[in-house]
Amino acid sequence: MNWILLIIAGLFETAFAACLGKAKETTGTEMIYWYIGFGICLSISMLLLVKVTQVLPIGTAYGVWTGIGAVGTVIVGILVFNEPATFWRIFFISTLIASIVGLKVVSN
């Protein structure tokens, strides 16, 4: 169950980064809503991370959390913000995914 919560926390990390990106593109009330979404996603992500670190090793949990957030943010950047999907970006994101899976495999 803690691994599922950690994945959810990582997805909320992606969401708060996406909210920052959208806030940068907007003005006025819409920008405020994106910043509110940022705060909510940040809070949920941190609370879940705190919960899972009570059971999982901190190094593993933090590494997986940041990895999920990084991979998710790059994917959102490519799909939503029209960032380039170059060979090297995809290659290094793939190695990051392999590292996240490796941490899960070697952790108790």
What is the secondary structure of 28-42 as a DSSP string? HHHHHHHHHHHHHHH
pLDDT digits (tens, 9 = 90+) for 1-15: 999 999 999 999 999
pTM recorded for the entire structure = 0.88
pLDDT digits (tens, 9 = 90+) for 51-107: 999 999 999 899 999 999 999 999 999 999 999 999 999 999 999 999 988 888 887
Pick the closest to residue 44 from 75, 22, 15, 66 (CA basis). Answer: 15
Residues 77, 83: contact at Cβ < 8 Å?
yes
